A and B are shown apart, each in its own frame.
Chain A
Amino acid sequence: MSTPLLLDVRDLHVTYPSGGGVPAVRGVSFQLERGETLGVAGESGCGKSTLAGALLRLLPPGTEVSGEVLLDGENVLTMREDRLRAVRWTELAVVFQGALHTLNPVKRVGWQIEEAITTHERGIPRSELRGRVAELLETVGIPGRRAVDYPHQLSGGQRQRVLIALALACSPHLLIADEPTTALDVMVQAQVLRLLEDLQRDLGLAVVFITHDLSTLAAVCRRLLVMYAGRVVEDGPSDEVFGSPKHPYTAALAAAFPIIGDARFRMAPSGLPGDPPDPRHLPSGCTFHPRCSVARPECASRAVELWPAGEGRRAACVQVLDEVPT
């Protein structure tokens, strides 16, 4: 029997309860092997963080989640509470978006790392615990003595590093990094990114990088997944997806980031008018058609599923259908 995939997400749907239901994720499927790197791209509001939260059942109570999230062959969505708690952080850890608010402001950062360790391993002597925390901090380039600091005593970049150290505390097999560099300035962004790359290589971690910066993802990840309005619109090997996009949305994202980290280009993809749609009022047909430069009349009424678009690639666009002989 072959070992199961590390992560196998099948037809995941997430609907938030507010305002009559917000369908933030609508049928996402993807797979991840051990040690693999996957990039998830898309403008803000496309459902990337929602997807990350659903993987460990961290979404607010009342949120409807359906589909399957197979982590090492076990379905997270139907797991018992105690099993779920055991899986959290030991199998999959998350570097959450927004380093400024993710750490508890009134607890020392070392204590917050210790807490993750002691939750899953009982009876570790204090001195050993201290040593492990210091070691984790050193791994991410922070002196071990900073363990006694409170979050506000650290810079933004240092806090992001603490979050990464925290995520490594229980040696997970899979790390999800949700916009790990967004709040940081350019120099620090590059450092944090390099740190994540090094860790991924040295520890053999599988990493899911989430960001709206496609060029960063292309440089760091083996495969890319592009999301729009809660769906995957394109996926495939990252250099191909970035180099010759099949979906007009991917093309717009790829064109939008000529300079890494330039704030002016980051937020507004060039040549892409408007904002991503509100999940409660999705356009008919292909949800991207109102902003698409190559839209055809039929796009307003016809939604296209993900379709094979070359070796290991898929895209959800009528253009792709043209190329396929029917």
Chain B
Amino acid sequence: MSPRYVSGKVLGSLGTLAFVIVFNFFLFRVVEGNPVATLFRGRNLTDAQRAAMRHQFGLDGSKLDQFWHYLVQLAHLNLGRSYETNATVLSEIGAAAWPTIWLVGISTLLSTVIGVAIGIVAAWRRGSVRDHALTSFTMTTYAMPDFWLGMLLLIVFSVLLGWFPIGGISDPTSNTTGIALLADQAYHMVLPCLTLTVAYLGEYAIVMRSSLLDTMREDYLTLARAKGLRDVLVRRRHAVPNALLPVVTLIAINFGFVLSGAIAVESIFSWPGLGHATYAAIRAPDLPMLQGLFLVFSASVIFFNLLADLAYAYLDPRVRTS
């Protein structure tokens, strides 16, 4: 991979990020009515108090002043304070990030591995009973909205059967620590993780299947068979690695979206992650918090896109060596 290729991709990503930062500012200034009034609705405030509040939230001065203020604060990683909790947005997001990273990380890992495996098995015996069964299954899960699946699982396994907790990340009435706490959190994670895994594996299975079917038409597979290779080796050494190339890109890109895409599932299971925080911030409405979350989500999409580009270039010698 040439340094020029890498620096080009990195610069492109930084450009996109800069655009998002500017856009983010204007979007939220246009949306925003009068947060001070919203926040203290029904209460009497003196004009002096109002002015003080406006100053505290960085809402005084001209729009240009505000924009400058916003950029300076952003450069210091100061995203403002939550209207709701008055804690810094950064600390709020930092606290909510870990549950999301665990939940999304594990479910993405599971859905990609299972989805890709299903795609391979289905494509290799195209048209077989197994292919039809697997493809019907993945089509069904692909078509199922994640919140609907989440509610279904919640009703069946938590409400009716009582096998799993209704929501949250740990049992609020116990004060265990260490391994016991981890085990409790894992137990709480089962249903949301299952929901995300099942909701997303269909896409990977479908993409992997069609990518492998395309690859299976390639002449170099005939050559590999002609050389005397066993079927499994033709598949493992030649077909699957080539078919995986576009899927790797999809996985990386999706990962960026999944961070923000878990809003519905986290809300259903009261999982205290970024998605849940977004839901709460919209309901309030807590604009600094939303602005911060929006920035984090955009940055993660941009970052994983960059990662996808670089991974593809690394894995495909046609890009790497040119």
In the bound complex, what is the Cα–Cα distance between A89 and B318 (angstroms)?
A: 28
- CB-contacts of A112-131 with B (<8 A): 115-116, 119-120
B54 CB-CB contact with A under 8 Å: no
Q: When the two chains form their complex, are residues B242 and A104 in contact, meaning their CB atoms are under 8 A apart? A: yes
A94 CB-CB contact with B under 8 Å: yes
Q: When the two chains form their complex, are residues A94 and B226 in contact, meaning their CB atoms are under 8 A apart? A: yes
A119 proximity list for chain B (CB < 8 A): 227-229
A153 CB-CB contact with B under 8 Å: yes
B224 proximity list for chain A (CB < 8 A): 104, 115
Q: When the two chains form their complex, are residues B242 and A150 in contact, meaning their CB atoms are under 8 A apart? A: no
Binds A, one of B28-36, B100-108, B171-179, B215-223: B215-223
In the bound complex, what is the Cα–Cα distance between A213 and B53 (angstroms)?
A: 88
In the bound complex, what is the Cα–Cα distance between A103 and B221 (angstroms)?
A: 9
Q: When the two chains form their complex, are residues A58 and B222 in contact, meaning their CB atoms are under 8 A apart? A: yes
- CB-contacts of B200-244 with A (<8 A): 218-220, 222-230, 237-238, 241-242
Q: When the two chains form their complex, are residues A96 and B241 in contact, meaning their CB atoms are under 8 A apart? A: no
A58 proximity list for chain B (CB < 8 A): 222, 225-226
A98 CB-CB contact with B under 8 Å: yes
In the bound complex, what is the Cα–Cα distance between A140 and B102 (angstroms)?
A: 55
B3 CB-CB contact with A under 8 Å: no
B317 CB-CB contact with A under 8 Å: yes
A120 proximity list for chain B (CB < 8 A): 228
Contact of A102 among B219, B225, B321, B322 (CB under 8 A): B219
In the bound complex, what is the Cα–Cα distance between A104 and B225 (angstroms)?
A: 12
Q: Given that A96-B219, A96-B223, A150-B318 are known contacts, is A106 also in contact with B228, CB under 8 Å in the complex?
A: no
Q: Given that A104-B238, A119-B229 are known contacts, is A152 also in contact with B318, CB under 8 Å in the complex?
A: yes
Interface size class of B (residues with CB under 8 A): 20 to 34
Closest to A115 in B: B227
A101 CB-CB contact with B under 8 Å: yes
B315 proximity list for chain A (CB < 8 A): 106
Contact of A96 among B222, B229, B245, B317 (CB under 8 A): B222
A147 CB-CB contact with B under 8 Å: no
In the bound complex, what is the Cα–Cα distance between A15 and B32 (angstroms)?
A: 71
Closest to A85 in B: B228
Contact of A88 among B227, B237, B316, B322 (CB under 8 A): B227
A105 CB-CB contact with B under 8 Å: yes
Q: When the two chains form their complex, are residues A89 and B226 in contact, meaning their CB atoms are under 8 A apart? A: yes
In the bound complex, what is the Cα–Cα distance between A93 and B222 (angstroms)?
A: 12
In the bound complex, what is the Cα–Cα distance between A94 and B219 (angstroms)?
A: 12
B225 proximity list for chain A (CB < 8 A): 58, 88
Shortest distance from the beta carbon of B214 to any chain A beta carbon, whole Å: 13
Contact of B318 among A87, A96, A106 (CB under 8 A): A106
B228 proximity list for chain A (CB < 8 A): 85-90, 116, 119-120
Closest to A84 in B: B228
Q: When the two chains form their complex, are residues B316 and A106 in contact, meaning their CB atoms are under 8 A apart? A: yes
Q: Given that A58-B225, A106-B242, A106-B318 are known contacts, is A101 also in contact with B218, CB under 8 Å in the complex?
A: yes
Q: Given that A150-B317, A150-B318, A150-B321 are known contacts, is A104 also in contact with B226, CB under 8 Å in the complex?
A: no
Shortest distance from the beta carbon of A317 to any chain B beta carbon, whole Å: 35
Shortest distance from the beta carbon of B219 to any chain A beta carbon, whole Å: 5
Q: When the two chains form their complex, are residues A105 and B223 in contact, meaning their CB atoms are under 8 A apart? A: no
B222 proximity list for chain A (CB < 8 A): 53, 58, 96, 102
Shortest distance from the beta carbon of B247 to any chain A beta carbon, whole Å: 14
In the bound complex, what is the Cα–Cα distance between A41 and B238 (angstroms)?
A: 32
In the bound complex, what is the Cα–Cα distance between A89 and B224 (angstroms)?
A: 10
A56 CB-CB contact with B under 8 Å: yes
Q: Which of A86, A104, A115, A120 has the most CB of B within 10 A?
A: A104
In the bound complex, what is the Cα–Cα distance between A98 and B321 (angstroms)?
A: 23
In the bound complex, what is the Cα–Cα distance between A89 and B237 (angstroms)?
A: 18
Shortest distance from the beta carbon of A122 to any chain B beta carbon, whole Å: 13
Q: When the two chains form their complex, are residues A93 and B321 in contact, meaning their CB atoms are under 8 A apart? A: no
In the bound complex, what is the Cα–Cα distance between A89 and B225 (angstroms)?
A: 10
- 7 example contacts (A-B, Cβ-Cβ < 8 A) are as follows A87-B228, A94-B226, A96-B226, A105-B318, A106-B316, A150-B318, A152-B318
Query: Which of A's residues lie within 8 Å of B, judged by CB?
Result: 53, 56, 58, 85-90, 93-94, 96, 98, 101-107, 115-116, 119-120, 150, 152-153, 166
Q: A86-B228, A87-B228, A88-B228 are in contact. List 18 more A-B contacts (CB 8 A).
A: A53-B222, A89-B227, A96-B219, A98-B219, A101-B219, A102-B219, A102-B222, A105-B242, A105-B317, A105-B318, A106-B241, A115-B227, A116-B228, A119-B227, A119-B229, A120-B228, A152-B317, A166-B227
Q: Which 6 A-B pairs have the closest CB atoms?
A: A88-B228, A104-B220, A150-B317, A85-B228, A116-B227, A101-B219
